[in-house]
Amino acid sequence: KQEVTQIPAALSVPEGENLVLNCSFTDSAIYNLQWFRQDPGKGLTSLLLIQSSQREQTSGRLNASLDKSSGRSTLYIAASQPGDSATYLCAVTPTVRGGETSGSRLTFGEGTQLTVNP
């Protein structure tokens, strides 16, 4: 059974810091890994999607890396801003089996709650 763990559970940093959020997963048979952002009481916003064949993806100040063999991913946020305050979740999609539509069920970690202080 796939398990996804995120460290740290919570993080508080001053504005302007560069920071790293960690995600680990127990089963390396993944199709892709995604990082999401969730604001309090809201739905999820996809930030970055990394296919299993890729090593990293970048979007603006965000960079996500993937090391499938070791079961790890990191989300790097450069020059953090108060508007980055949210919970960050990583999720993995299992490998597609054969030609069937396996369904894109995601297994999520419990998230890292980030607070960026002005």
Partner 1 sequence: ETGVTQSPTHLIKTRGQQVTLRCSSQSGHNTVSWYQQALGQGPQFIFQYYREEENGRGNFPPRFSGLQFPNYSSELNVNALELDDSALYLCASSTGTDQETQYFGPGTRLLVL
Report, in this order, helix, strand and coil percent for the chain, each rounded to 5. Answer: 5, 55, 40
Quote the least distance from Cβ 16 to partner 1, whole Å. 28
Contact positions vs partner 1 (CB under 8 A):
4, 31-32, 34, 36, 41-46, 49, 51, 89, 91, 93, 96, 101-111
Residue 18 or 93: the one with the smaller Cβ distance to partner 1 is: 93
Query: Is the Cβ of residue 4 or residue 75 nearer to partner 1 in the bound state?
Result: 4
Measured CA to CA, the distance from residue 94 to residue 60 in angstroms comes to 27
CB of 100 to partner 1, least distance (A): 9
Query: Which one-letter DSSP state was computed for residue 8?
Result: -
Alpha helix (H) ranges present in the chain? none
Task: Give 70's strand partners.
Answer: none
Closest separation in Å from C-beta 79 to partner 1: 25
CA 72 centroid distance within chain:
10
Residue 19 or residue 49: which is nearer to partner 1 going by CB?
Answer: 49
Nearer to partner 1, 17 or 42 (CB): 42
| Cβ atoms of residues 114 and 9 within 8 Å | no
